[in-house]
Structure 1
Amino acid sequence: MDDPRGGVRHVIPGRGNYLTGDSVALTAPSLVTPADRRMLTELFRCLNREDLDRIDLLVSFVMWSGIQHIGRHLDEALRRGAHVRLLTTDYLQVTDTRSLGFFLDRLTDGPVGKLEARVFSDASTSFHPKAYIFTSSATGDGVAFVGSSNLSHSGIASGVEWNMQTSGTRKLVEEFDRLWTDERAVLLDQEWLTEYERMRQLRNHVEPDEPSDAPLAHLVEEDEPPAQPWSVQAEAMSALEATRLEGHQAGLVVMATGLGKTWLAAFDSTRPEFRRVLFVAHREEILTQARDVYRQIRPDGRLTLFTGGEREPDGDVVFASVQSLHRNLAQFDTSRFDYIVVDEFHHAAAETYRRVLAHFRPDFMLGLTATPNRSDNADLLALCSDNLVYDCGLVEGVRRQLLSPFRYRAIPDVADYEHIPWRNGRFDPEELTRQIATQERAEQVLTEWRELGGRERRTIGFCCTIAHADYMAEFFRSEGVDAVAVHSGPSTSPRAEALERLASGELPIVFTVD
């Protein structure tokens, strides 16, 4: 097929490498500057290459603003099985603790991918290399960028930086390995991170008349300030504090999607009396996303997962799937946690949730949901001691200009739902897919989308199953519309790349599930 760059990308995983070409074919170095090519764009291209499964990052400083740019792409590379190594330095304590925490949370050596991180620590030696090295373990071919860009927003996205791109990576990898095995390159672990944050805080609070090079650090790299609660989150936190003063040990907070329920829980749980926190959800993706939020509030905290794939019960904050907790309740003392957060609390009426909630005796339990009303009329509020602490729903969020206004457009559906079996509170997924993943219905959706000016908008199409999402994306592509499907199945398009392209307007529509 023709090279689809600028069109379909990674549509059929495993069917050819659509992104080969210029990067691998280079025989002479080329210069990457803001006037020509953005470093961030080049990093995205390499991080999304399935064949470049060895990723070595060598930088002086790592800032949270840089993680915000490439974090999702690194996660996808790890999910594909990539081996990622980070080597940075503690020079001047410029590197942001949150950023090191991001890598600490992903130190894995399992069946999917592997991440390792080390810190070059030597007060008598400066450490200023900046290199991003991508190599194929199968062929030894690769792409590397060597120059001036640290892993920060200014370094890879907005600043005036020069970097040389080269396809000759062997010598670079050898030099990286030499630094990696240097005795001054120490392993990043929880104890090191805690001490690093302590030293960083001491530097930030040095007395005015004491000599310090801390101001120099701020000249070297600026980063985003620590996150602060939005007004709606501050209101909810005040309500939670008041309800605890009244003696309540549980409460429900209702906040529309987009108002920051996870951020609220993260901020509220930092009170000194809540030393041990449990965050419960029904999907691992929710747990890892919540961990990333908590990492920004607790830069050096011990944040652990307790799921089917990773079980670390001893953390300052434990992010646990309800299924894993339900199967391992005997492992936890009833008073193990001071504060328990139950996300997506509308699921809490299920028996697995009820058993988990009945087992623990925290000082406070917080239920979070955007949709408190259930079709089966289950009494969620009773699970929170009939204590509705705070409510800011969708309409109120729009009224306060915290959420975008919206319009519903209902159209007649050509699918026949009457003969689809209803099982366990929902339509049978396989039969539902057979009924709606049809050419007639796809043509109807495409026609309506075009009438709404779909090509000039950014669209998310919600589908009932993975097969349905794949079908819709393939149909739209067959009609000349650049579309991808993003989901948890093996046929998914790269999530981070799809979101970047959707946000930039390059991709008009993404089909997804749930």
Structure 2
Amino acid sequence: MLEKGLYEKLINFCLRNELNNNTEIESLEKALVNDQLSRILAAYVGERTKHRLDIMEDKRLPVSDRLDFVNNLLDKINSDGRESTSKEKIHINNPLDKISSKTEQNCDNIESPPKILLSAYPKNNENKKIDLTIRPDTSVAYSSLFTGSSNEPQFYYELQKEIQTSDQVDMLVSFIKWTGLRLIIKKLKEFTDNGGKLRVITTTYMGVTDIKAIEELAKLTNTEIKISYDTKNTRMHAKTYIFLRNTGYSTAYVGSSNLSGAAISSGLEWNLKITKIDMQDVFDKIDATFDSYWSSEAFESFSPDQLARLNKALKNESSINNSGNEYSFDFHPYPYQSKILEELRADRQLRGNYHNLVVSATGTGKTIISAFDYKQFVREHPDSSNRLLFIAHREEILKQSIACFRNVLKDPEFGNLYVGNYKPLSDEHLFMSIQTFESIRPDLQLDKHYYDFIIIDEFHHAAAKSYANLLNHFNPEIMLGLTATPERMDGRDILKYFNNHITSEIRLPEAIDQHLLCPFQYFGITDSVDLENIAWKKGSYDVSELENLYVKNSGARERAKLIIDAVREYSTDIDSMKALGFCVTKAHAKFMAHYFQESGIQSIALTSDSTHQERNDARKKLVFGQLPTAKAVSLQLGCHNGQKNHPLQ
């Protein structure tokens, strides 16, 4: 009887007869294309040859008979389709040989044109709608290797499809993070709700496992969890995901990926996919080893009433104290930064372009690139004053930038701040806000060649009128623009200041692909708010109309509740969450902060009306876990990498 489920089976006359005669089965087939032909036909011949040899062994036929059989086969292969040179033929009695098609050909023979059976399911299944086309992107008959390459399917997408097409799923991982589990939890729920069996083995080793992940797994039906609490004697580092199918087309993944967001989505992880069809001995060993662990007393069955014990064990094991360590620069350029510096030198020395724009994704170190660029300029001009003007639009950015330059230049006294309450002792090396520039107008006091090197951070702002006096007056030897987003929504051109070209760039997708930045997971939340009737002005929605919709409209609280529900669903732990919420207006920020507070989640609204002290206090509380969320409107909090983990929009 043909089992329902996933296949990757070459259709011979025997299988065709079964498919034709079984009126209860619905199948999906595909033609065998030319580039697959050699591998699949060769594998089929090998499998049938082994089958015949196994029969000979069972019948205890002499070795000479088996050698004759193989040699006759090789003669036939080597004859290149011509008549075999050997007249002696071996025929092994086999039950399959007695089943013949109308043409009375051997049951094992392949029909023409050749086809592959992909799946078989009962017809008219009323319990659930089965999509016969769902299957892993990689073969379930031939083993393969996942290395995290961009031309491979993402690992967690493949896991989702393996889950959807399995009869039983076994997972063995050192730890389970909610960031990883949430990528596949919906498929696991569908799988177990439809009768699939799930078994999970994990540990409390190093306290890395998230309690929420275990809680969510324990809520699933047809699911069993076993945990090792003895991390001194049972330091399990194995990671494997086993997908058992009644059709025999079972698969297993063995490698480096624990069940965490980074490990199954974007990390530099290697995982070998093993199929039972072509590596049965290895697969059977994996399966048997999992069962031996499952039966071992070292792994204890988990139930929801043991949450307190698990939580205590994880805390005791935790070797990581989330103390909010401040970000510190490694003051040597990384290879990608060195490449940008080389492109800057080439643009100047080879092309004569001394006004240079660097497009670099946020977090890739634009400031440190500019500091090393300036350091090289100083080396090339040892007898010059090398006056520097660094322009930014926020005090926090200027403080971080001057600290960066001092470290790179190994000069703790380098530069002066000119922003807010800071007044410089000298104007030779200034880190100045654009607001201060417009207030004191140094362009009216200084010669246009006074500064040798001018750096303008967030240069996409330079299209604003406030930058006109700066750009129109000064003519430095080098002007360096830094931005992550050179394209403006209003279409205004900033490339005109750089001979209409970008000297070097590394965009966000490229930075993530190169593992320079942590990948983010984006979850879109469906709401009932209709923006169709909101006016569109100058590249964006009318802000006042959005405020009415998001704050004053009768559905505003319903929308806010959807956001709260999504935060609770996707966050590992509300108490350890560090989140920024981006709002459209001050009123919207205050409304959302108040609603979060009502819902038991500490939150604060920050706007341009907030004092410098309020911003600093909010940043510190956010960093050190005393404030889960901050709602901001066009505001720079000054959080470094790793200090926020949930951007909310």
TM-score (norm 2): 0.41
Aligned length in residues:
293
Following superposition, the deviation at residue 358 of structure 1 comes to 2.1
- Counterpart CA distance in 1 for 2:567 and 2:402 is 36
- Counterpart CA distance in 1 for 2:583 and 2:329 is 38
What residue in structure 1 maps to residue 374 of structure 2?
A: 269
- Assess if the C-alpha contact under 8 Å between 2:389 and 2:454 holds in 1: yes
What residue in structure 1 maps to residue 344 of structure 2?
A: 240
Alpha-carbon spacing, 1:319–1:428, altered in 2? closer, same or farther (3 Å)? farther
What amino acid is the match of 1:511?
A: K
1:223-238 equivalent positions in 2, closer than 5 A: 227-238=331-342
2:360 maps to 1:255: yes
The percent identity for this pair of structures is 36
Following superposition, the deviation at residue 442 of structure 1 comes to 1.5
Following superposition, the deviation at residue 443 of structure 1 comes to 1.4
- Assess if the C-alpha contact under 8 Å between 1:301 and 1:316 holds in 2: no
- Counterpart CA distance in 1 for 2:340 and 2:479 is 14
**Structure 2 segments unaligned to the other structure (5+ residues):** 1-322, 635-649
What amino acid is the match of 2:337?
A: Q
Of 547, 560, 563 in structure 2, the residue corresponding to residue 442 of structure 1 is 560
What amino acid is the match of 1:276?
A: R
- Counterpart CA distance in 2 for 1:492 and 1:363 is 35
Following superposition, the deviation at residue 432 of structure 1 comes to 3.4
Following superposition, the deviation at residue 357 of structure 1 comes to 1.3
Q: Secondary structure at the match of 2:526?
A: coil
Q: Secondary structure at the match of 1:405?
A: coil
- The one of the two structures with greater contact order (alpha-carbon pairs below 8 A, sep at least 6) is 1
- Counterpart CA distance in 1 for 2:447 and 2:601 is 55
- Which is further off, 491-500 or 230-239? 491-500
- Assess if the C-alpha contact under 8 Å between 1:232 and 1:259 holds in 2: no
1:283-294 equivalent positions in 2, closer than 5 A: 283-294=394-405
- Counterpart CA distance in 1 for 2:492 and 2:480 is 18
What residue in structure 1 maps to residue 633 of structure 2?
A: 513
Deviations 1:280-322 (A, max 9, x none): 2233443333223223334334422344655548334212233
Alpha-carbon spacing, 1:491–1:402, altered in 2? closer, same or farther (3 Å)? same
Deviations 1:86-109 (A, max 9, x none): xxxxxxxxxxxxxxxxxxxxxxxx
- Assess if the C-alpha contact under 8 Å between 1:429 and 1:465 holds in 2: yes
Q: Secondary structure at the match of 2:604?
A: strand
2:529 maps to 1:412: no
2:412 maps to 1:300: yes
- Assess if the C-alpha contact under 8 Å between 1:485 and 1:493 holds in 2: no
- Which is further off, 350-359 or 484-493? 484-493
What residue in structure 2 maps to residue 459 of structure 1?
A: 579
- Assess if the C-alpha contact under 8 Å between 2:490 and 2:538 holds in 1: no
Alpha-carbon spacing, 1:484–1:317, altered in 2? closer, same or farther (3 Å)? same
Q: Secondary structure at the match of 1:257?
A: coil
Alpha-carbon spacing, 1:448–1:310, altered in 2? closer, same or farther (3 Å)? same
- State the superposition RMSD in angstroms: 3.2
Alpha-carbon spacing, 1:258–1:366, altered in 2? closer, same or farther (3 Å)? same
2:485 maps to 1:395: no
- Assess if the C-alpha contact under 8 Å between 1:416 and 1:435 holds in 2: no
Alpha-carbon spacing, 1:511–1:389, altered in 2? closer, same or farther (3 Å)? same
What amino acid is the match of 1:345?
A: F
- Assess if the C-alpha contact under 8 Å between 1:251 and 1:386 holds in 2: no
- Assess if the C-alpha contact under 8 Å between 2:405 and 2:414 holds in 1: no
Q: Secondary structure at the match of 2:369?
A: helix
1:468-483 equivalent positions in 2, closer than 5 A: 468-483=588-603
What amino acid is the match of 1:337?
A: Y
2:487 maps to 1:383: no
2:466 maps to 1:352: yes
Q: Secondary structure at the match of 2:463?
A: coil
- Assess if the C-alpha contact under 8 Å between 2:525 and 2:563 holds in 1: no
- Assess if the C-alpha contact under 8 Å between 2:392 and 2:458 holds in 1: yes
- Counterpart CA distance in 2 for 1:253 and 1:478 is 44
1:296-335 equivalent positions in 2, closer than 5 A: 296-298=407-409, 299-307=411-419, 310=422, 312=424, 314-326=426-438, 328=441, 329-335=443-449
Following superposition, the deviation at residue 426 of structure 1 comes to 4.7
1:26-65 equivalent positions in 2, closer than 5 A: none
Of 456, 462, 465 in structure 2, the residue corresponding to residue 342 of structure 1 is 456
Following superposition, the deviation at residue 411 of structure 1 comes to 2.7
What amino acid is the match of 1:369?
A: T
- Counterpart CA distance in 2 for 1:249 and 1:460 is 38
What residue in structure 1 maps to residue 246 of structure 2?
A: none
- Counterpart CA distance in 1 for 2:613 and 2:532 is 33
- Counterpart CA distance in 1 for 2:611 and 2:424 is 31
- Counterpart CA distance in 2 for 1:443 and 1:315 is 52
Alpha-carbon spacing, 1:368–1:283, altered in 2? closer, same or farther (3 Å)? same
Following superposition, the deviation at residue 371 of structure 1 comes to 0.6
- Counterpart CA distance in 2 for 1:282 and 1:482 is 29
Alpha-carbon spacing, 1:470–1:489, altered in 2? closer, same or farther (3 Å)? same
Deviations 1:36-91 (A, max 9, x none): xxxxxxxxxxxxxxxxxxxxxxxxxxxxxxxxxxxxxxxxxxxxxxxxxxxxxxxx
- Counterpart CA distance in 2 for 1:345 and 1:461 is 24
- Counterpart CA distance in 1 for 2:584 and 2:357 is 29
- Counterpart CA distance in 1 for 2:329 and 2:395 is 28
What amino acid is the match of 2:580?
A: I
What amino acid is the match of 2:393?
A: H
What amino acid is the match of 2:567?
A: W
Q: Secondary structure at the match of 2:503?
A: strand
- Counterpart CA distance in 1 for 2:329 and 2:525 is 46
Q: Secondary structure at the match of 2:632?
A: strand
TM-score (norm 1): 0.51
- Counterpart CA distance in 1 for 2:397 and 2:633 is 15
What amino acid is the match of 1:440?
A: E
What amino acid is the match of 1:294?
A: F
Q: Secondary structure at the match of 2:500?
A: coil
Following superposition, the deviation at residue 240 of structure 1 comes to 1.4
- Counterpart CA distance in 1 for 2:437 and 2:620 is 35
- Which is further off, 483-492 or 283-292? 483-492
- Which is further off, 357-366 or 284-293? 284-293
Q: Secondary structure at the match of 1:340?
A: strand
What amino acid is the match of 2:362?
A: T
Following superposition, the deviation at residue 450 of structure 1 comes to 1.8
**Structure 1 segments unaligned to the other structure (5+ residues):** 1-156, 159-223
- Counterpart CA distance in 2 for 1:481 and 1:375 is 34
Q: Secondary structure at the match of 1:481?
A: coil
What amino acid is the match of 1:469?
A: A
Deviations 1:250-291 (A, max 9, x none): 111010000111111122112323711111223344333322
What amino acid is the match of 1:340?
A: I
What amino acid is the match of 1:245?
A: Q
Q: Secondary structure at the match of 1:397?
A: helix
What amino acid is the match of 1:448?
A: A
- Counterpart CA distance in 2 for 1:229 and 1:496 is 29
What amino acid is the match of 2:334?
A: W
Following superposition, the deviation at residue 407 of structure 1 comes to 2.6
Q: Secondary structure at the match of 1:269?
A: helix
What residue in structure 2 maps to residue 484 of structure 1?
A: 604
Alpha-carbon spacing, 1:443–1:377, altered in 2? closer, same or farther (3 Å)? same
Alpha-carbon spacing, 1:363–1:400, altered in 2? closer, same or farther (3 Å)? same
- Counterpart CA distance in 2 for 1:394 and 1:441 is 30
What amino acid is the match of 1:342?
A: I
